[in-house]
Amino acid sequence: MTISLTSPSFVSDTPIPKRHTGDGEELSPPLNWNNVLEGTKEFALICDDPDAPTPLPWIHWLLYKIPAELRSLPEGIEPKPVLDSPAGMLQGHNSWTSGSQFGYRGPAPPKGHGTHHYRFRIFALDVHLDLPPQADRRMLAAAIEGHVISQGELVGTYERWREGSRASEVA
């Protein structure tokens, strides 16, 4: 069974609103999911950009130890390693080397690089992860390997135009 992952802010394969990007307020989008298998112990969420001009997809968000009873995340999850609400959730390292290096960082592709696709992927796990706050992509991937019982994906797009060309912003 595939998890249905949606957002009230955008529909899959459509532009992510500016407020959720590096050109806006950089708020994490609200997310909802359902079709969860019985036996799910917790969830992990990865948002990445496979179109980034880097060897590996650019990590925008690693969120894990999401309680099994949750079916949504509010807009604007605080960019800190250990979250108070929902209690116990942890955030990992994103791909930035300056500024906030953990928590959500919104789309900000190179200007004129074309449309980028941002994959929000949620993983239902059959175990409780034993990971510290600020884990990186490698640590999270190793921890969930062999423990994903179902998953879902929501893809948003974003493009930044070259200076002096048409606007690419979505209100």
Domains and CATH numbers, the chain: 4-73+80-158 (3.90.280.10)
The per-residue pLDDT for range 3-15, each reduced to its tens digit, is 999 999 999 999 9
What pLDDT is stored for residue 162 in this prediction?
A: 64
Retrieve residue 76's tokens.
Answer: 């604007």
What's phi and psi for 156, nearest 5 deg? -115, 155
Question: 126, 123, 122: which is closest to 40 by C-alpha?
Answer: 126
The per-residue pLDDT for range 93-126, each reduced to its tens digit, is 999 988 889 999 999 999 999 999 999 999 999 9
**Do 155 and 13 contact (CB within 8 A), yes or no?**
yes
Q: Calculate the alpha carbon distances from 76 to 27, 29, 79, 136 in Å.
A: 4, 7, 9, 21
pTM of the model: 0.92
